[in-house]
Amino acid sequence: MAGIENLQDSFARIEKAVADGDTDLRTLGFWKHVSQVKRDQRLAAHWAEVVGRIDRAAFQARIRPRFPVWLGNSVLVVGTLVFAAAVAVALRLAEGIDRPRPGLAGLLVVVAAGGLAVTVHAPAHWLVGRMAGIRFLAYFLNGPFRIQPGVKTDYASYLRATPGRRAAMHAAGALATKAAPFAVFVPAYLRHASAGYELLPEWSLWAVLGIGLVQIFTDVVWSVRHSDWKKVRREVRVGRIQSTPH
């Protein structure tokens, strides 16, 4: 009971600080307390509304612009369809009967691979998250340069989901992004091979493959410390703690 009372006081203090304009949740000790409640799923469910309310208030005060989830999903799904269609268009251009245009085709294939790696990321988080019972608040501009689309979880529903489902939600975006360049490379290479390896410029296929390999490299050296795979590992650890008899 004493622990719950201490959390009550701490969350009340943090919520007041956020209302007064201090949105640095880490400095306020918020995430330390969230980590504490995550260790017990019943405790996480108990504090879910309070934690979600504080996190939402800090997010809304700190992040602009924000976009409705339906709008972000719509734009990114349309973008995904456009880039997928670009691969088909590129192959038709390369095969042109009267005037093959392999250079333009190669460029389109590279652009499609890079574009798909961006457009599938956040919708994959959203789709798997919704299947896990996690809701989302808004789209926003994320990443080191604030140009990558990100989708913000509703932390109350996030805490109510099991650690395994939270880990799956985080992994979904990372896996979709890594798969996208190879989803372009495989059909392009197969068509290229069936045409006697003379359909597309070699540089374009190497560039698409390079995009995929760079994505994997950044996961290994960066994401495991700062992004999606760090969160996956965190939630897997939480799941192990919850399953350990106390």
Band of residue 137 on the pLDDT scale cut at 50, 70, 90? very high
Question: What pLDDT is attached to residue 145?
Answer: 65
Question: Average pLDDT of 221-235?
Answer: 87
How far is residue 142's CA from residue 15's CA, in Å, rounded to a whole number? 24
pTM for this predicted structure: 0.91
pLDDT over 90, % of the chain: 84
Q: Calculate the average pLDDT of the chain.
A: 93
Tens digit of each residue's pLDDT (9 = 90 or more) over 197-219: 999 999 999 999 999 999 999 88
In this predicted structure, the answer to whether residue 2 has a pLDDT above a threshold of 80 is no
In this predicted structure, the answer to whether residue 4 has a pLDDT above a threshold of 70 is no
In this predicted structure, the answer to whether residue 29 has a pLDDT above a threshold of 70 is yes
Token pair of 49 as six digits: 């509304």
Band of residue 14 on the pLDDT scale cut at 50, 70, 90? very high
Question: What pLDDT is attached to residue 122?
Answer: 97
DSSP state of 12: H
In this predicted structure, the answer to whether residue 1 has a pLDDT above a threshold of 50 is no
Question: What pLDDT is attached to residue 148?
Answer: 87
Band of residue 112 on the pLDDT scale cut at 50, 70, 90? very high
Domains of the chain: which residue ranges? 1-62, 67-243
Question: What pLDDT is attached to residue 220?
Answer: 85
How far is residue 169's CA from residue 172's CA, in Å, rounded to a whole number? 5
In this predicted structure, the answer to whether residue 3 has a pLDDT above a threshold of 80 is no
How many residues appear in the chain? 246
Question: Average pLDDT of 46-54?
Answer: 96
Burial 92-114 (b: 16+ CB within 10 A, else e): ebbeeeeeeebeebbbbbbbbbb
In this predicted structure, the answer to whether residue 18 has a pLDDT above a threshold of 80 is yes
How far is residue 121's CA from residue 92's CA, in Å, rounded to a whole number? 27
Band of residue 158 on the pLDDT scale cut at 50, 70, 90? very high
Question: What pLDDT is attached to residue 243?
Answer: 85
Question: Average pLDDT of 211-232?
Answer: 88
Residue identified by tokens 């994505």 is 215
